[in-house]
Structure 1
Amino acid sequence: MMKTGRQRMRHAALATGAAVVVSLTLSGGGPPGGRQDHTQAPAPPTVSKDGGSQAKDAPVRGGRTIRVTANLQVGEELDLGAQGRSVGDQFVFSGNLRSRPGDRPVGRFGGFCVINDLQRNAGECSLTAVLEGGQIAVQGEQAGIPTPSPVTNAITGGTGKFRNAHGQMTLRVLTASTWELTFHVTGH
């Protein structure tokens, strides 16, 4: 693969990182590389009684809504099989989760997508979100890579306080490397 093709794929991967998430894990989080800043613990998502747009962790009928900002730190598109974009190529991504842009991390996320439809530039994705107290797993299709449109995918399970989780996650692209993830969690 030519160097310019690799750079183009890396840019495309960064632009679609959150949109192609297949498995989302949310954990206690922290700075990249496992470094911990002992001056202040990560702030937990905030709770709002009205469930408005500022709500980060608000109750909903039969469950709760968790809204976080995902900051992509790693986004790598893997050219597998035939040279150039082809079925089976993958996009692998990870980063931090924050209550609001600019806040300290409250968790992390990671995942991958496998391209399965060249005409629609779509793929099957998994994303894992790691938050304090457990993980939430998400799976579904994302179309429009590298400029994804909003998508809603299924919450397929979790661990810890999310061990019986189901529901759905909505992804909305704010910038190429910043997305808003909204988890509507039931059964936790």
Structure 2
Amino acid sequence: MEIFHIVNAVRQKLSQYDALQVSEILNDKPISQDELSEIESHISFKFPDSLRHLFINHSSSLRFSWDDDGKRFFGEDCRYGGLNLISPIQIKNLFEDMREMVEETKAELSEEYDEGKQALVDDWSFWIPIVLFHNGDAFCIDTRTGNIVFLEHDVMDGGPNLHGIVLAQNIDDLISKWSIVGFVDIYDWTEGVNDDGINIESPVFSKLVPLFV
């Protein structure tokens, strides 16, 4: 099933749960194939087919959110979620910022080694942000592997914590697994993944999964 329809189906299921606060899906007009190709050339990365189809045929971005309003229906760790799949233009701009940060941090590392800064330099040049969270964290495509990885926006300050944790094998795997847990946003993703990425059988999701399966 296409990304657009999967997200819409999840949103509809969540909205049937009267106790939840669920926003409408917000989107932007599709991008032309020429515009998308120009952005891909600029960042030296071709988006996966499913994302290209979404951007060209449905919407250049997808956003919705949900919140249990403090009720803890799905447990202490599954209180809110949603999806902020950013547009190709946003992706390009954010990736440019990340590359600038890498160059600035390289200069700092030449004077003094720091584990967090080294992690940023080693990875951010290869990570394409696709899902952005309010605090600046992101889910990214690692161009070296195709895996979806967790970007900590402050890794250079506190050192690696969730930095680089694998959420899925690729974008289609991410949407497939993450949709089964309602695009929930949990604080510590180490509790919700295994070696293959998001683990829908993890105890942290036990009260949420039945809503979608």
Q: Specify which structure has the bigger relative contact order, considering alpha-carbon pairs within 8 angstroms and separated by 6 or more residues.
A: 1
Q: How does the TM-score come out when normalised to structure 1? A: 0.31
Name the structure with the higher helix share: 2
From the CA coordinates, give the structure whose radius of gyration is larger.
2
Q: TM-score, normalised by structure 2?
A: 0.29
